Structure 1
Amino acid sequence: MNDTAAPLPSSAQRVADLLAGMGHDKPVVMLPSTGRTSAEAAAAVGCSVAEIAKSIIFRRMADDAPVLVIASGANRVDEAKVTALVGPLGKADARFVRDNTGYAIGGVCPVGHVVKPVMLIDRDLFNYDSVWAAAGHPHAVFNLTAAQLQEMTGGAVSDVRLDAAPTAA
């Protein structure tokens, strides 16, 4: 990890400024390689994949609103559970993600969106002392607690995890 005085990319600097304005005391950290996947980010920061707070954007069909699910990196999101909470969903392409969040896929931060998303937070994130979230750039992350994440975003804490299929006996 690189948290030295090297300048941050503009999108990560915007997140750092936003976090500082919220009183968050942890820095935005630049990873030596991409953190586009939960496994890559976890390896770079030295935590478990489950401690990565990954951002997944959907498009709500009823009103074209962005829906941001912040899930534990170890979990797959159950679209049926999310649909039950917010209404029918569609896929969000790269342009929809950038236009509505201000971030590219792989760097979508939980805060600072162009359009305020409907937001759900995976309750499993509360099982960890801290989690790492994207900070506006595929190589940028920041550390926080799940409680801080909920406070910063106002997201509803929900069961969004796709449960494993039962195994045949």
Structure 2
Amino acid sequence: MSSRKADTGTPATAQLTRAGIAFTPHRYEHDPAAASFGLEAAEKLGLDPERVFKTLLADADGRLVVGIVPVTGQLDLKALAAYVGAKKATMADPRVAERKTGYVVGGISPIGQKSSLATVIDASAESFDTVFVSGGRRGLDIELAPADLQRATGGAFAAIARHA
């Protein structure tokens, strides 16, 4: 992997470049009719979907929290709430998520968000050398080491995914 800005030009890639964090951008042709943005990325990039993670925002007792889980699973809202010390968590309104992150749904990156939010990464990420997350637009994923994802987001690892 190389640390390069290339021509990806998103707040996520800019933040990684400024921080000197190694990443590799991966582009694919996004299909607007795709039912799942994350599964589409895994398929189009020829990846094990367990290595591709989606970025979700939840409202935990009135505080927005970022949950990063494999695209093959779901965010366990009870586990997320417990980890951040909240009584309850619900999925955030997509419009609020877009406003707080500066990204559009389907392209929300956990890196380079407009607002600094508490971030929790599913512990399964630690079992891979590299993982893939949105690069800040539909059709762009970023590959990086889980420890670098943690460093870039200020996040923590915890078991927050449920598998379907």
- Please report how far the alpha carbon of residue 74 of structure 1 lies from its aligned counterpart in structure 2 after TM superposition: 2.2
Q: Which amino acid aligns with 1:127?
A: S
Match of residue 25, structure 1, among 22, 27, 30: 22
Q: Which amino acid aligns with 1:141?
A: D
Q: How many residue pairs align between the two structures? A: 155
Give the RMSD, CA atoms, in angstroms.
2.2
Aligned-residue sequence identity (percent) comes to 24
- Please report how far the alpha carbon of residue 30 of structure 1 lies from its aligned counterpart in structure 2 after TM superposition: 2.3
Contact 1:16–1:27, Cα closer than 8 Å, also in 2: no
State which structure, 1 or 2, has the greater radius of gyration over its C-alpha atoms.
1
Structure 1 residue 59 and structure 2 residue 56: aligned?
no
- Please report how far the alpha carbon of residue 114 of structure 1 lies from its aligned counterpart in structure 2 after TM superposition: 1.5
TM-score (norm 1): 0.81
Q: Which runs of 5+ in 1 are unaligned?
A: 1-5, 165-169
More strand by share: 2
Deviations 1:90-112 (A, max 9, x none): 33122101111111111111111
Match of residue 75, structure 1, among 54, 73, 77: 73
- Please report how far the alpha carbon of residue 75 of structure 1 lies from its aligned counterpart in structure 2 after TM superposition: 2.2
Deviations 1:1-58 (A, max 9, x none): xxxxx954xxx53322222111133343321224852211111222111000210111
Q: Which moved more, 1:139-148 or 1:16-25?
A: 16-25
Q: Secondary structure at the match of 2:12?
A: helix
Aligned position for 1:3: none
Quickly say closer, same or farther: Cα 1:25–1:157, change in 2 above 3 A: closer
Aligned position for 1:101: 101
Deviations 1:132-153 (A, max 9, x none): 1101111111100111111211
Contact 2:24–2:144, Cα closer than 8 Å, also in 1: no
Structure 1 residue 161 and structure 2 residue 145: aligned?
no
Q: Which runs of 5+ in 2 are unaligned?
A: 1-5
